[in-house]
Amino acid sequence: MKKSAYITILFIALLTLACDEELAQPNFVDQNPDDVEIRISNESNFQLDHIRLNTSSNEWSYGSVFKRGKSSFRKYRFSYPFFELYFEVNGKVFFYEPQSYSGYNKIDGGKYEALIYDIDTIALTFAFRLEED
């Protein structure tokens, strides 16, 4: 008898929780509203392949971006004004790795474009900069 009473009380408690308004219509709030979103903007006349960007908070792969094309945005917890960048052009590897972030501040949350340009496939050099979108 006591066992069935406990089961009934437990069942009523579970029904009450299931009817909670917050559970019925959850409020999805971004836990990190200051995240940085970055997309690749290929300002060159080459297709960029196997693009990877690492801000030291996390790393994302962007796949390929056609010449004069743009990727979709990827979300990072934070970023400095420069970052580790890797890509390939016609099988040739291009890579930039910062020596240190010492003395630099993290950028404000928001949407940014990493513009890649001035690619030289003979000298294996390139330029890039980060601009607010």
Confidence of residue 96 (pLDDT cuts 50, 70, 90): very high
**Mean pLDDT of the region 83-112:** 96
Confidence of residue 3 (pLDDT cuts 50, 70, 90): low
100/104 Cα distance (integer angstroms): 9
pLDDT at 50 over 60: yes
Q: Give the predicted TM-score (pTM) of the model.
A: 0.74
55/129 Cα distance (integer angstroms): 13
For the chain, give the percent of residues with pLDDT over 90. 73
Helix and strand counts by DSSP (H, E) for the chain: 2, 8
CATH class of the region 34-132: mainly beta
pLDDT at 65 over 90: yes
In eight-state DSSP terms, residue 33 is T
pLDDT at 92 over 60: yes
Contacts by residues 26-35 (CB-CB < 8 Å, ≥ 24 positions apart): 32/77, 33/109, 34/78, 34/108, 34/109, 35/75, 35/76, 35/77, 35/78, 35/109
pLDDT at 31 over 80: no
